Amino acid sequence: MNEANGIISVIKPLQWTSMEVVRRIKRLTGQKKVGHAGTLDPQATGVLPICFGQATRVMEYLVDSPKSYMALVHLGVTTDSYDAMGQVTETRDASYVTEQHIGAALEKYRGVFPQVPPMYSALKKDGERLYNLARAGKEVDRPPRDVEIYDLRITRWTPPEVWLEMQCGKGMYVRSLAYDLGIDLGCGAHLKELTRLHTGPFDISTSVTMDQVEEACQDGTWRSLLFPVDFPLLKFKAAIVQRDKEEAIKRGQGIYLGLPPKIAPTNDLYRLYSVDGEFLALLHPGKARGLWHAQKIFKLRQG
């Protein structure tokens, strides 16, 4: 079977782990090189990009890309995992909380702020996953990390529950946001539901369910669900080269693209294509002005 190269934007089912989605899709498609771009907790649902073949090499750009969520926060009940799957640790009266109180409390979470990650997370402490330590009844210090929320707003208030929609950067834990909001309001809180609406260029409106994936695998049309390998990279500028420069890049040599400095800042990347439209490489600028080197080379031609 030829290796598939591309990305399926899947809506992760509730109660599935992200790796369960990967394993199921590997069995259905018969593909060996499959991975996901950005873990979702079992209680969360929503957009989970599944990468095949050469597309597994662009997963880092998806993991680092902005994401948006719809979160349901339940006030007055605190859990050890900060979400609905954990054990209740405290129950308090939240009847005094108003939508205005919540709006005021959310102000400090817009922009960059320090956040302490939850114990029930895949982060490591001295080589051990935090969730393993938490399950053993241990709690360790977790240094706060700077995270960023670009947009945060209340979309619905039905006491004692509030719906929040947000767009955030890498590493922001919505569970921790719910927990911290509960502390700020003085009543405690936990994350009851979470849906990822988009990650990078992938949106829930153009994603498919696992049932649709299974159906496409049964009738042999699952490759039609694939987005191209370069889809997550469209935010970068593009260049087209003739055959001689194409071969030079494949040999690991640098090439001159003749791009003026304003178009080619030193921290930028470029998508490189052949004259017949094949995606060849992702380039980064070299030390010499106008010289570009391959950061990643892609082999998308079969055979």
Q: How many CA within 13 A on the CB side of residue 261?
A: 3
Q: How many CB atoms lie within 10 A of CB 292?
A: 24
Q: Are 198 and 138 in contact (CB under 8 A)?
A: no
Q: How many CA within 13 A on the CB side of residue 277?
A: 1
Strand order in the sheet with 291-297: 237-241, 270-274, 279-285, 291-297, 255-256
Q: Using CA atoms, how far apart are residues 89 and 75, in angstroms rounded to an integer?
A: 13
Terminal Cα distance for the chain, rounded? 12
Beta bridge partners of 297: 281
Alpha helices by DSSP H, listed for the chain, are: 18-29, 59-63, 99-106, 130-135, 174-185, 210-218, 243-250
> Exposure of 131 by Cβ count < 10 A (0-12 exposed, 13-18 middle, 19+ buried)?
middle
User: 270-274 and 34-36: which strand pairing?
Assistant: unpaired
Torsion sign over Cα 80, 84, 87, 93: positive
> Exposure of 113 by Cβ count < 10 A (0-12 exposed, 13-18 middle, 19+ buried)?
middle
DSSP 32: S
**Helix, strand, coil percent content, the chain, rounded in steps of 5:** 25, 35, 40
83 is catalytic: no
Please list the active-site residues.
Answer: 41
